[in-house]
Chain A
């Protein structure tokens, strides 16, 4: 759907007068630690594997930020991970399977709740049975930990994490003259957006090469290629792309609050615009579905003010 092209231009890059449409999700934050930063990252990276979109992965996740030893409960290097799901049941299921299969199996790891408000979700309280009766719990202050004896020593996991409201599907599109330029711009955006707290960009490297639209000609599919933004479909479909655009990349943002997503979008779009029109960045747009998808609307012009 073509938007009115109002007059916002940053460094020669046209900003469409359109909005990103986001929807409510449920979220939690986990703190994963290990003996070294490398293994904390390995555990976190394993946990966030295959979690780009709730369309097929059940959950959308990402590493929010790296944590210094002084910022983690056990004084070791850590990673903060955010997980977003469409409902509590799915979030609870994904937390247990991913913590069990990806974090507990990662050498020297431990896992803690990164949020202590909201609805309780079982974590260690469900994983403890791996200890085959040798597991022990310990209540320190108000927090209960489960100590599961494992071959590398002990897997320490907090009994509960907590579910809070989240928002999924904040996004913007980078329209560029070439694929290389679109990718450079997307990388620059992700670098800037990684500095924003309370958000993750769940797709590979934070960038979506195959953005989707709602629905499909095939009834069983809930999403399909966003043909209006596919450069190879110019001339064949009702395109959104001007002739000079050869590649479009999307950045999807999940966050804990509207203001966090807006802040991340602003950081990302501004980073892209520093490259400017002279580096092949033609337009910034955003994906929406006419209000059918969700109640949160991030208008690009408002976000960039």
Chain B
């Protein structure tokens, strides 16, 4: 699989935003073209070649290597093919992504997968706060696709999630699924406090339910439903730690809420 490799020379002292460059990087014919693309380091204008070494030729794959957490907007509006990131990515990874795959061999900053509409993101490390949440100025968060985090995720994971699936293999911070509009979140580890705050619809599946549920969620009983089989099978298909799920074990306890808003969200977990 051919493609360009873009390697960070040294960690910049200030933040670098690659968001405006995704399309131009993807359509570039030569490595030299990419090196000439304008980029800002803080408020200092330079060219990409000042910060990165670029080699390779056009292809289905783009590799960003030696990346550090000051590089924001990686894979913004990514639409097809594979983007592989080695190192820790900054904020807004995969913002507005519409297709293809992004794999991060490291951690990501805040607002990863914000505005994502389709495609798949795999984060092998931890995700910061606001995973799948809208960036300031936007009304809805993630709107399709799948994000799987092999580590932990921060606060406000899935805030204003509209559609799609977020899977966290580790723990999540506070306010997971806050203001959720629809879509699904599945968490293998521990849930932070105040989960589902102002959640309107959607499903939040937990392997380990919290010891205390929010007061604005009501117990809706335990049910064995065909839908649970489909849902668990869908989670299992995403791979990773979720492969252990058994769709036939589809008897799930449900809490409904947040009743302070629409109240159609569901917290689902196996009743022990």
B29 on the interface (CB 8 Å rule)? Answer: no
* Complex CA distance for A303 and B38, rounded to whole angstroms: 70
Nearest CB in chain A: distance from B163 CB, A: 6
Given contacts A74-B230, A140-B230, A140-B231, A154 and B203 within 8 Å (CB-CB): no
The CA-CA distance from A73 to B225 in the complex, in Å, is 13
| Most central of A76, A139, A145 by chain B CB within 10 Å | A139
Does B231 lie within 8 Å of A76, measured CB to CB?
Answer: no
Query: How many Cβ-Cβ contacts under 8 Å join chain A to chain B?
Result: 39
Complex CA–CA separation, A292 to B224 (angstroms): 54
Q: Which B residues between 181 and 202 are near A, CB-CB below 8 angstroms?
A: 184, 201
Given contacts A74-B226, A154-B225, contact A136 B231 (CB under 8 A): no
User: For residue B227, which residue of chain A has the nearest CB?
Assistant: A156
With A136-B201, A136-B264 given, is the CB distance from A141 to B234 under 8 Å?
A: yes
Across the interface, B231 reaches (CB within 8 A) one of A110, A138, A153, namely A138
Interface: A33 (CB within 8 A) = yes
Q: Smallest distance from the beta carbon of B137 to chain A beta carbons, Å?
A: 26
B203 engages A138 (CB within 8 Å): yes
What chain B residues lie within 8 Å of A215 (beta carbons)? none
Determine how close the nearest CB of chain A comes to the CB of B48; give it in whole angstroms.
36
Tell whether A29 is near chain B: CB-to-CB under 8 Å: no
Q: Determine how close the nearest CB of chain B comes to the CB of A150; give it in whole angstroms.
A: 11
Bound: A141/B264 CA distance, A:
21
B58 interfacial contact with A, CB 8 Å: no
CA–CA, A138 to B229, complex, Å? 13
The proximity string for A residues 124-164 relative to B, scoring 1 for CB distances below 8 Å and 0 otherwise, is 00000000000010111100010100000110100000000
Tell me what chain B mostly uses at the interface: helix, strand, loop, or mixed.
mixed
Judge if B27 is at the interface, Cβ distance under 8 Å: no
**Nearest chain B CB to A78 CB, angstrom units:** 10
A136-B201, A136-B264 as given contacts; A33 in contact with B231, CB under 8 Å: no
Asked if B139 is at the interface (CB within 8 A of a chain A CB), the reply is no
Cβ of A295: which chain B residues have Cβ within 8 Å of it?
none
B247 interface residue, CB < 8 Å from A? yes
A242 within 8 A of B: no
Does B223 belong to the interface (CB within 8 Å)?
yes
Which among B224, B226, B230 has the highest number of chain A CB atoms within 10 Å?
B226
* Cβ-based interface call for B248 (8 A): yes
Please name all residues of chain B whose beta carbon is closer than 8 Å to the beta carbon of A73 when the two chains form the complex: 230
- Whether B229 pairs with A74 at a CB distance below 8 angstroms is yes
Chain A count of residues within 8 A CB distance of the other chain: 16
- Report whether B163 and A145 are in contact in the complex, using a CB–CB cutoff of 8 Å: no
* Distance of A218 from chain B, by nearest CB (Å): 49
Q: Is the CB of A153 within 8 A of B234?
A: no
**In the complex, chain B residues whose CB is within 8 Å of the CB of A75:** 229, 233, 247-248
Q: Is A145 touching B248 in the complex (CB atoms < 8 A)? A: no
CB distance from A79 to the nearest CB of B (A): 15
Residues of A within 8 A of B203 (CB): 138
Chain A contacts of B184 at CB under 8 A? Answer: 138
Do residues A156 and B225 form an inter-chain contact, with CB atoms below 8 A?
A: yes
CA distance A217 to B231 in the complex (A): 58
A110→B226 contact, CB < 8 A: yes
Tell me the complex Cα distance, A75–B225, Å: 11
Contact with A along B229-258 (1 / 0, CB 8 A): 111011001000000000110000000000
Residues of A within 8 Å of B227, CB to CB, are: 74, 138, 145, 147, 154, 156
Question: What separation, in Å, do the CA atoms of A136 and B229 have in the docked complex?
Answer: 16
- Contact status B163-A139, CB under 8 Å: yes
Could you say which of A33, A140, A147 has the most chain B C-beta atoms within 10 Å of its C-beta? A140
CA distance A291 to B91 in the complex (A): 70
- Per-position contact with B for A105-120: 1 when CB-CB < 8 Å, else 0? 0000010000000000
User: Taking A75-B247, A75-B248, A156-B225 as contacts, is the C-beta distance between A145 and B264 under 8 angstroms?
Assistant: no
Q: How far is the CA of A73 from the CA of B229 in the complex (A)?
A: 8
* Residues of A contacting B223 in the complex (Cβ-Cβ under 8 angstroms): 153-154
With A75-B233, A156-B227 given, can you name 12 additional A-B contacts, CB distance below 8 Å? A74-B226, A74-B229, A75-B229, A76-B229, A110-B226, A136-B201, A136-B264, A139-B163, A140-B234, A153-B223, A154-B223, A154-B225
- Can you give 29 contacting A-B residue pairs, CB < 8 Å? A33-B226, A74-B226, A74-B227, A74-B229, A74-B230, A75-B229, A75-B233, A75-B247, A76-B229, A136-B201, A136-B264, A138-B184, A138-B203, A138-B227, A138-B231, A140-B230, A140-B234, A141-B237, A145-B227, A145-B230, A153-B223, A153-B225, A154-B225, A154-B226, A154-B227, A156-B225, A156-B226, A156-B227, A156-B230
CB-based closest 3 A-B pairs: A74-B226, A140-B234, A74-B229
